[in-house]
């Protein structure tokens, strides 16, 4: 059943997102053609061709930045909206009477959303490459990437933990939005407003908690006064690691706890407090 | 509702009466196959369970019989159909005469009246 | 016949409003049952409880022996008052959706019924009239071979032709071993297709009786009896 849920969620959510991301890629390709025709990005933007080209080039760069920001934001909002619409409005009469568990619904929607979050980032990166990458740029980027991969083997522990934090971030973001939608749905007639309110409130609370956690862990390890003068680089690395490793570890644990809390509250509301008008 | 049933009387007896009349009037020929319960129920706009019950009653009266798999058939006993038709007609006439009696017409007078109407081509 | 639905001391409270209070109800298989009551009497609350969209405040509810959950949802076919399909779907996609999730869904039956009312499966649900959307939903719901059908106000606010279509669709697709629970306040329209009625008022069951028994004993229609019981 999870597979079927995933399939239908994927079809439903992809209809619009494919169009939006396809548009960005096409826009990037057309822009690149324009730049090529006018002798390269640098030439176009520097006004060496003529003023009109310069203005158009500036507008294109402004537009792509705008599109990329909008697409990234839209993707997140659409993920949250889709969850709201499919579970807590009239469509919920069907979604919540399918022979599946609330956990399966959350997981299938969450995984689809996660996949789209990744695709979104990839498409935006590719769009930027299409627009601006040239031989020189690639000759810097590719070896740099190679070096990063090479050094990953010898990375200190805190970097690995940081990587885990970064990988967990999209999970946290999506389940946090689901949590807000679910709690917001408890407010009769103002479900969306409720969800936004819950988002702001929970965001503030998360900030406060993470600040407190940082201060406590930081104080314990006297972060902020990291003085590495007079140390060899190995010593410095060890010293910084000894401070950052526990700090990041606590953050990762907090992240995992938040994910679990958001998940179980969402599941509880879908099971016991479903509020369909 | 296509069959025009009276909701204040048991539907089941009305269905029995209605199908009985259809058989006697020749809407369903002797030996012919009756539509399925579901089709009859749908046509009448009634519950299939009620229709089932009505048909069972008709079976009890031997007006229809069911073959194991192929459905229900009207009886081929034309003598019985004829007899029932006569009974039904007799009952109607008896009721008519009773009404006439209440209006002060004796049976003799009623018949004279009927004959007169028939001569004038009014009946 | 065996019991398909059983409510034991079932109560539901919303805040301070008591929607259902201590209902005891047992419904058998193979019947068409009317859940009759004025607006706000608790009909929809009961149907939502059966479908697991609400959880009881007290008491329990058993569908074919189990509490609402994955198993009960696979044997209950529910028609709510709302349009619950994703309207950006085509009718054919909605059919795929039902076919994927409900093992008892009969796709051919659905296609045949759509053809009968001249609805092209490639149409988008968004583009359909309100009446046609309701038809599509009814067709999807009745194309399942469920054990219990819950139809919430299926004929409220429709014209007489649509009403006849809905009632004949229900009769034609009803499986003899299934039970249909049909909630309505329009009694005279449906009473001829019912086996049994449950009168509900202010969250209490006022009466549960065979319709033919009502006609036989009281010499009046269910509609007349209803008006008498619920006289203001």
Q: Could you report the per-residue pLDDT of B41-99, keeping only the tens digit for each? A: 888 888 888 898 899 888 888 888 887 777 888 888 888 888 888 988 999 999 999 99
Q: Could you report the per-residue pLDDT of C144-171, keeping only the tens digit for each? A: 999 999 999 998 878 888 888 899 899 8
Residue C216 pLDDT = 84
Q: Is B105 exposed, middle or buried (0-12, 13-18, 19+ CB in 10 A)?
A: middle
Residue B1 pLDDT = 44
Any idea which residue has 């001391």 for tokens?
Answer: C9
Q: Does C216 touch chain B (CB under 8 A)?
A: yes
Residue A257 has pLDDT above 50, yes or no: yes
Residue B62 pLDDT = 85
Q: Does B1 touch chain C (CB under 8 A)?
A: yes
**Hey, of B48, B51, B55, B57, which one would you mutate to test binding to chain C, going by the most C CBs within 10 A of its CB?**
B48
Q: Does B38 touch chain C (CB under 8 A)?
A: yes
Interface B–C counts its CB contacts (< 8 A) at: 57
C10 neighbors C42 (Cβ within 8 angstroms): no
Q: What is the DSSP letter of B112?
A: H
Interface contact B42-C171, CB threshold 8 A: yes
* CB atoms near residue A229 (< 10 Å): 5
Q: What percent of chain B has pLDDT over 70?
A: 97
Interface contact A98-C73, CB threshold 8 A: yes
User: Among 1.10.10.10, 3.40.50.150, 2.60.40.10, 1.10.1760.20, what is the CATH number of B11-74?
Assistant: 1.10.10.10
Residue C50 has pLDDT above 60, yes or no: yes
With a CB cutoff of 8 Å and minimum separation 6, the contacts of B50 are B11, B12, B15, B41, C195, C212
Which strands sit side by side in the sheet containing C179-184, from one edge to the other? C76-79, C148-152, C179-184, C32-36, C196-201, C204-210
Find the radius of gyration of the CA atoms of chain A: 23
Interface contact A92-C74, CB threshold 8 A: no
Three-state secondary-structure class, residue C152: strand
Residue C146 pLDDT = 94
Q: Does B45 touch chain C (CB under 8 A)?
A: yes
Q: Please state the domain extents for chain B.
A: 11-74, 78-119
Any idea which residue has 């209490």 for tokens?
Answer: C204
Residues C7 and C20: their CA atoms lie apart, in Å, by 11
The values of phi and psi at residue C209, to 5°, are -155, 155
pLDDT category at C69 given cuts 50, 70, 90 is very high
Any idea which residue has 């299934």 for tokens?
Answer: C178
Q: What is the DSSP letter of B88?
A: H
Name the residue in chain A with its Cα closest to that of C57. A272
**Which chain B residues contact residue C164 at CB under 8 A?**
45
With a CB cutoff of 8 Å and minimum separation 6, the contacts of A268 are none
Name the residue in chain C with its Cα closest to that of A16. C88
Any idea which residue has 């522990």 for tokens?
Answer: A157
The torsion region of residue A256 among left (phi > 0), alpha (psi -120 to 50) and beta comes to alpha
- Give me the residue from C32, C195, C215 closest to B10, CB to CB: C215
**Which chain B residues contact residue C172 at CB under 8 A?**
38, 42
Q: Does B46 touch chain C (CB under 8 A)?
A: yes
All chains having 3 or more CB pairs closer than 8 angstroms to chain C: A, B
C148 min Cα distance to partner chain B (Å)? 16
Residues A42 and C179: their CA atoms lie apart, in Å, by 75
* Total-model pTM: 0.86
Q: Please state the domain extents for chain A.
A: 1-150, 155-277
Q: Does A272 touch chain C (CB under 8 A)?
A: yes
Q: Could you report the per-residue pLDDT of C74-132, keeping only the tens digit for each? A: 999 999 998 999 999 999 999 999 999 999 999 999 999 999 999 999 999 999 998 89
> Can you list the pairs that C45-48 forms with residues at least 24 positions away whose Cβ atoms lie under 8 Å?
C45/C12, C45/C19, C45/C20, C45/C203, C46/C7, C46/C10, C46/C20, C46/C183, C46/C200, C47/C78, C47/C80, C47/C150, C47/C152, C47/C181, C47/C183, C48/A276
Interface contact C84-A1, CB threshold 8 A: no
CA distances from A167 to A172, A173, B21 (A): 9, 11, 80
């Amino acid at each position: 059943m999870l597979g079927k849920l995933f399939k239908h969620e994927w079809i439903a959510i992809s209809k619009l997102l494919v169009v939006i991301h396809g548009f960005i890629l096409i826009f990037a390709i057309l822009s690149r053609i324009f730049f090529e025709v006018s002798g390269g990005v640098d030439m176009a933007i520097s006004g060496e061709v003529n003023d009109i080209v310069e203005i158009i080039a500036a507008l294109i760069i402004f537009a792509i930045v705008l599109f990329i920001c909008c697409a990234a934001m839209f993707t997140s909002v659409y993920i949250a909206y889709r969850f709201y619409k499919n579970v807590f409005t009239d469509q919920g009469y069907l979604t919540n009477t399918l022979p599946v568990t609330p956990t399966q619904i959350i997981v299938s929607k969450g995984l689809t959303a996660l996949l789209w979050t990744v695709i979104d980032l990839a498409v935006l990166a590719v769009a930027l490459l299409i627009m601006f990458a040239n031989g020189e740029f690639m000759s810097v980027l590719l070896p740099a990437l190679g070096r990063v991969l090479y050094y990953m083997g010898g990375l200190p522990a805190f970097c690995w933990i940081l990587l885990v934090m970064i990988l967990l971030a999209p999970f946290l973001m999506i389940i946090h939005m689901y949590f807000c939608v679910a709690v917001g749905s408890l407010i009769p007639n103002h479900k969306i407003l409720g969800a936004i309110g819950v988002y702001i409130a929970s965001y503030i609370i998360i900030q406060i908690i993470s600040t407190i956690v940082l201060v406590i862990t930081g104080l314990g390890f006297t972060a902020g006064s990291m003085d590495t003068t007079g140390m060899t680089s190995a010593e410095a690395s060890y010293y910084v690691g000894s401070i950052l490793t526990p700090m990041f570890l606590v953050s990762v644990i907090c992240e995992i706890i938040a994910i679990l809390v958001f998940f179980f509250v969402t599941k509880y509301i879908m099971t016991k407090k479903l509020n369909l008008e | 509702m296509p069959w025009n049933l009276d909701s204040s009387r048991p539907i089941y007896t009305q269905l029995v009466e209605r199908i009985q009349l259809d058989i006697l009037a020749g809407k369903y020929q002797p030996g012919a196959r009756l539509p399925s319960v579901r089709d009859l129920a749908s046509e009448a706009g009634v519950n299939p369970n009620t229709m089932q019950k009505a048909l069972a009653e008709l079976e009890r009266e031997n007006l229809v019989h069911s073959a194991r798999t192929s459905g229900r058939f009207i009886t081929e006993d034309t003598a019985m159909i004829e007899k029932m038709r006569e009974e039904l007609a007799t009952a109607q006439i008896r009721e008519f005469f009773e009404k006439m009696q209440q209006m002060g017409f004796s049976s003799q007078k009623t018949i004279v009246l009927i004959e007169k109407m028939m001569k004038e081509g009014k009946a | 016949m065996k019991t398909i639905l059983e409510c034991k001391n079932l109560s539901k409270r919303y805040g301070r409003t008591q929607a259902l209070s201590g209902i005891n109800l047992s419904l058998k298989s193979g019947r068409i049952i009317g859940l009759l009551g004025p607006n706000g009497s608790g009909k929809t609350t009961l149907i939502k409880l059966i479908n697991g969209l609400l959880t009881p405040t007290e008491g329990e509810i058993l569908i074919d022996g189990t509490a609402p959950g994955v198993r009960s949802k696979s044997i209950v076919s529910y028609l709510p008052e709302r349009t619950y399909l994703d309207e950006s779907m085509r009718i054919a996609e909605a059919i795929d959706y039902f076919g994927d999730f409900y093992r008892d869904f009969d796709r051919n039956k659905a296609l045949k019924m759509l053809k009968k009312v001249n609805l092209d499966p490639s149409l988008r649900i968004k583009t359909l009239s309100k009446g046609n959307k309701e038809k599509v939903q009814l067709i999807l719901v009745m194309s399942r071979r469920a054990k219990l059908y819950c139809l919430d106000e299926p004929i409220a606010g429709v014209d007489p032709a649509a009403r006849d279509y809905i009632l004949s669709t229900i009769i034609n697709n009803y499986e003899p071993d299934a039970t249909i629970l049909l909630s309505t306040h329009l009694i005279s329209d449906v009473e001829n297709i019912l086996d049994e009625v449950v009168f509900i008022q202010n969250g209490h069951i006022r009466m549960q009786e065979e319709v033919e028994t009502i006609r036989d004993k009281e010499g009046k229609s269910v509609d007349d009896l209803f008006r008498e019981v619920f006289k203001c």
